[in-house]
Amino acid sequence: MTSFAPPPSSPLLIVISGPSGVGKDTVIQRMKERNLPIHFVVTATTRPPRPDERHGVDYFFVSREAFARMIEEDELLEYAIVYGDYKGIPKQQVREALASGKDVIMRIDVQGAATVRKLAPEAVLIFLTTETEEELVRRLERRKTESPEDLKLRIATARQELKRMHEFDYVVVNREFALEETVDTIIAIIDAEHHRTVPRKVVL
């Protein structure tokens, strides 16, 4: 009888992206609370922290000078200007997590996801969205964290980002009051990816 050994599974580089207001932070937080064997990348940003955010947990809050130094020293996997502030993924953090054998999840914007796709074609790209465009607009309006001018900019940007959904491997609808369902779907995607006949091998 011939024995069959399935191909070994490699750690995955997973991108969770989507427009502002779809609930990326909430989904990531719930995944953390489930104590999954996953490394969640902490993004560096030049924007000031919101009242409930902690340095080194939600983001690395750095000065523009420090961020410029990170760019010059090639320490970032990708970076972009998002609504007037810089955001970027520390390269070493991702490499060390993958080397440890852990799956790595990055929460980045849509343009950042496109950059990661070029750098790491084997990354798993998940687009998080709402049931309708109208629902997304309502969520952004409900946050009340921006001025009317900034809100208009976010809504216009979100509408453009929705058009790039086809660039991703998966689309997950984060329905109102269905957070657990959203997280379950993402975990199912990750589990399925680990059962591919040809495993993804991320090289950075």
| Residues identified as active-site | 50, 143, 154
CB atoms within 10 A of CB 113: 23
* Site of tokens 């719930």: 30
Torsion on CA atoms 172, 33, 42, 133, rounded to nearest 10: 30
Q: Is 18 left (phi over 0), alpha (psi -120 to 50) or beta?
A: left
Give whole-number Cα distances, 68 to 45, 47, 75, 80, in Å: 11, 14, 10, 12
Q: Which helix (H) or strand (E) holds 48?
A: none
Residue 42 · residue 91 · CB < 8 Å: no
Collect all residues with Cβ–Cβ distance below 8 Å to 127 and sequence separation of at least 6.
17, 18, 110, 165, 167, 168, 170, 171, 172
